[in-house]
Structure 1
Amino acid sequence: MEKTTVLNLLNTNDLNREVVLKGWVKTFRANRFISINDGSIIHNIQCVLDFENTEEAILKKIHTGAAVCIKGLLVESQGKGQKVEIQIKEISILGESNPEEFPIQPKKHSFEFLRENAHLRVRTSTFSAIMRIRSKLSFAVHQYFQDNGFYYVNTPIITGTDAEGAGEMFRVSALDPNNSPKLESGKIDHSQDFFGKETHLTVSGQLEAETYAMALGKVYTFGPTFRAENSNTSRHLAEFWMIEPEVAFNDLHDNMDLSEDFIKYTLGYILKNCKDDLAFLEERLLQEDKSKPAIERADMTLTDKLKFVIDNNFVRLSYTEAFDILRNSKPNKKKKFKYVLDEWGADLQSEHERYLVEKHFKSPVILFDYPAKIKAFYMRLNDDGKTVRAMDVLFPGIGEIVGGSQREERLDVLQEKIKALDIDEKELWWYLDTRKFGTAVHSGFGLGFERLVLFATGMSNIRDVIPFPRTPQNAEF
């Protein structure tokens, strides 16, 4: 008989038939009721054991975490809280679990403890829900772009360029770290390394994606990126996934339209397809809020927060307009902001971005036309010479979730900006070629996938929405 899943069993009306189910024991109580989950759904199914006719050797091995195979009759449940249950006819232990050693017992665990057991934390209801939502979001990303005529491009993970100009990159080398060849200056001779030059793990696939957009029209990358930033905040990872579309002939306004439509689609997809997992996470947040002081409680439920983004048109305004609003706001005048704004050109912080979204506009916000000095070299310079055609999408609870721009398509202007920033033009010869041969207006943006998952699940720490977080001093698992 073919095995089925908990998902199928809980959604069927075909009762009084024999079924085979394989899964893991969540709880075993009264030597009679076994709660089983196989990862297919947030809910468990109750399986009723005939205690008197079950071997004692089997009974002694039924513990939380054990893998079992159950054969029995699917019937209408006589108890409360479940529609169906399995009357067990035969049970076998596929993999034992020592109750004294298994760390994920059926009780509340701290997130810090679960991070230390990241290889097992997905067996909890919270993390299984998060990872199912992450999977569905990933599918929605691909479906959106594929349905809208984009081509999926796999850009290099190993690169010789720094797309962001931040310099916080992990080096890639095959040289002996204890005996590397040196130049007369004492620096490492990278010409003798594997790639013949200094290379790093990429922080972005954007520059390479631009070259493909200039031939295929509409492309996107969705892959791992890396940043060697020594940051231990709840918003940063050393290894994360980036979604980066690039579109030929799109200007800044087209780019804003694309980002808003894309975000609304992906969040709408999980509202429709992850109802059980979202309901569980929402209830978890509601219970968590009860233990907080009233002033710290969330203004919206998880579902309301998702609908807040989906149902509202994103307010669009320039950096300058936003700066004036923030500078004249009560929190700024009364110095309630941690970073008080005074002079135009300051880089906005999360507290400023959230104020605009949550307090002032009560809507998602897209800021554009940022000061050139705080943005990357590849962003198109405006006619005022002070601002660039950059855009950031701001969300409640997070602040910036998307960063993008219209790219600088003019060769002479791009060369001037590269020179002013002391970037080696020889390293970007291939990038500059796209401005020599058939240059055109084009735009794109980057969205950190984990930040999208963070928002969609209501979690507060980005380390809890990626299977195995990589952070400073942590490369376990």
Structure 2
Amino acid sequence: MAETDQAPPPSDQLAAMNLTDTVEKHAFSDRVLIRSIVGRPDGGAGLAGQRVRAGGWVKTGREQGKGTFAFLELNDGSCPANLQVIVDTGLAVLSKLVATGTCVVVDGILKVPPEGTRQKIELRVEKVVSVGEVDPAKYPIPKTKLTLEFLRDHLHLRARTNTIAAIARIRNALAFATHSFFQEHNFLYVHTPILTTSDCEGAGEMFQVTTLISESEKLEKELIKNPPPSEVDMEAARQVVSERGEAVKQLKAAKASKSEITASVAELNKAKENLSKLEERSKLKPGIPKKDGKIDYTQDFFARQAFLTVSGQLQVETYACAVSNVYTFGPTFRAEHSHTSRHLAEFWMVEPEIAFADLQDDMNCAEAYVKYMCNWLLDKCLDDMQFMAKSYDKGCIDRLRMVASIPFVRISYTEAVELLEEAVKGGKKFENEVKWGIDLASEHERSPLLFITTQRE
């Protein structure tokens, strides 16, 4: 992160600033975020005696004392840690509270639990405000650890798990940090379109956006209910037009009254209009419209082919040539069939563009951004990263610290190839042959702290 001119206060003063005697309420609710209680350096002990309203979902619950009270581990998603809540039997039917997934809102007093317990603070409930019951037999998210494959079948509830909630908080922090970094460095945020007619990558891996299919399906259903006119119907309509036209001629020849002629002309126009409608309906064909053997995109929503964006680079570059330093940050779509960690159908991408800059400037920006993001996670999401380290990747925090603290190495393409060739001589094996002139593959770019400063010449 960027250094400030003013040194931070001593740690004892900082602690005094953070630990207040009043718990912070949510800005738009009477509820207090659980994070503002258990996320304090003292674990919430300094808030003992405070009356608060807490709401969340029961992670675990159990009745104790032969049903005289219940312990609830309550979580509202604001942090990984739970708040222990104690409810007496006189306040609610305890059996309706203890099931995992139950939604509760309670009022109570924060108290320091007895010595020897894991919690630093607990909530003694004085009033149960509301209860959203669940059926334990049907609730699909038990308190046991679940696989990610299982959670994909329960998308509407998976955010209640520790893993998905932690991912959501981490992604939120990274998105906020992205905007913070670029705003602090005077970049302008540009909203580039999601729907586009441009292919910035040129690789033909775009998702197409069209209404032709749905319109074709609607037309097929409509034609089944109301078939297009037959040739007999068309001939009958033409005959009516001919007869109405002849009638008008006869009236004019007979010098009939103006009102008679006007009425006859109106009938003729009506017959012509009906014939025109029948002719248009007779042209309707089931299936996607085609012209000269090709799909007729002039009948599509945008009257031409349209796609989900693969990159906002083309659009954001036009702004860089007008307002200097810009960036775009949003969803990107790639219709690639490669099932690897490097290929996703949908992902969010950061694309900065700097006017009047060279390759060194670009590398400086990229390095500063990556370090900023790593430091932000270590500062703002350490508890979630600790959960990830414990559950999925033991070395993730160490890698963040390494990337944040070590300067990125910058070498030329030729030097990179020479290093890889030395690795091959030392016994390292690559699927792709290493020689000067190749495009470096992902297996050649394993070091996270490396920039290639020049292309092959």
TM-score w.r.t. length of structure 1: 0.69
Large movers: runs of 4+ above 4 Å: 332-335
- Give yes or no for the alignment of 1:182 onto 2:290: yes
Which of 316, 335, 342 is the matching residue for 2:410? 316
Query: Does the CA-based 8 Å contact 1:66-1:93 persist in structure 2?
Result: no
Q: In structure 2, how many angstroms separate the alpha carbons of the residues matched to 1:250 and 1:82?
A: 54
Residue type at the aligned position of 1:142: H
Query: Does the CA-based 8 Å contact 2:63-2:98 persist in structure 1?
Result: no
For residues 391-414 of structure 1, the C-alpha deviation after alignment (integer angstroms, 9 at most, x for no partner) is xxxxxxxxxxxxxxxxxxxxxxxx
Determine the structure 1 residue equivalent to 2:204: 167
Which of 105, 111, 114 is the matching residue for 2:148? 111
Q: In structure 1, how many angstroms separate the alpha carbons of the residues matched to 2:327 and 2:176?
A: 14
Q: In structure 2, how many angstroms separate the alpha carbons of the residues matched to 1:55 and 1:37?
A: 19
Q: Where is the helix percentage greater, Structure 1 or Structure 2?
A: 2
- Secondary structure of the equivalent of 1:322? helix
Determine the structure 2 residue equivalent to 1:257: 364
- Secondary structure of the equivalent of 2:177? helix
For residues 417-464 of structure 1, the C-alpha deviation after alignment (integer angstroms, 9 at most, x for no partner) is xxxxxxxxxxxxxxxxxxxxxxxxxxxxxxxxxxxxxxxxxxxxxxxx
Residue type at the aligned position of 1:37: N
* 1:335 Cα deviation from its structure 2 partner: 6.7
- Secondary structure of the equivalent of 1:250? coil
Quote the RMSD (CA, aligned, Å).
2.1
* 1:118 Cα deviation from its structure 2 partner: 2.8
Q: Closer, same or farther in 2 for the Cα pair 1:349/1:217, shift >3 Å?
A: same
Q: Closer, same or farther in 2 for the Cα pair 1:205/1:138, shift >3 Å?
A: same
Q: In structure 1, how many angstroms separate the alpha carbons of the residues matched to 2:329 and 2:422?
A: 40
Query: Does the CA-based 8 Å contact 1:68-1:95 persist in structure 2?
Result: yes
Determine the structure 1 residue equivalent to 2:452: 367
Contiguous gaps of at least 5 residues in structure 1: 290-300, 358-362, 372-385, 387-477
Which of 101, 104, 116 is the matching residue for 1:65? 101
Which of 319, 338, 343 is the matching residue for 2:431? 338
Residue type at the aligned position of 1:315: V
Q: Where is the strand percentage greater, Structure 1 or Structure 2?
A: 1
Determine the structure 1 residue equivalent to 2:48: 15
Query: Does the CA-based 8 Å contact 2:62-2:98 persist in structure 1?
Result: no
Determine the structure 2 residue equivalent to 1:33: 71
Alignment of 1:394-409 (within 5 A): none
- Give yes or no for the alignment of 1:269 onto 2:376: yes
* 1:113 Cα deviation from its structure 2 partner: 1.3
Q: In structure 1, how many angstroms separate the alpha carbons of the residues matched to 2:92 and 2:355?
A: 68
Query: Does the CA-based 8 Å contact 1:157-1:202 persist in structure 2?
Result: yes
- Secondary structure of the equivalent of 2:290? coil
- Secondary structure of the equivalent of 1:200? strand
* 1:28 Cα deviation from its structure 2 partner: 0.5
Residue type at the aligned position of 2:31: K
* 1:347 Cα deviation from its structure 2 partner: 2.7
Determine the structure 2 residue equivalent to 1:304: 398
Q: In structure 1, how many angstroms separate the alpha carbons of the residues matched to 2:209 and 2:187?
A: 31
- Secondary structure of the equivalent of 2:104? strand
Q: Count the aligned residue pairs.
A: 347
Residue type at the aligned position of 2:158: R
For residues 131-154 of structure 1, the C-alpha deviation after alignment (integer angstroms, 9 at most, x for no partner) is 111101100100111111111101
Alignment of 1:171-250 (within 5 A): 171-176=208-213, 178=216, 179-184=287-292, 186-250=293-357
TM-score w.r.t. length of structure 2: 0.72
Residue type at the aligned position of 2:417: F
For residues 228-283 of structure 1, the C-alpha deviation after alignment (integer angstroms, 9 at most, x for no partner) is 00122233221111110111111111111110011111211121111221222222
Contiguous gaps of at least 5 residues in structure 2: 1-28, 65-69, 217-286
Residue type at the aligned position of 2:79: I
Residue type at the aligned position of 1:154: H
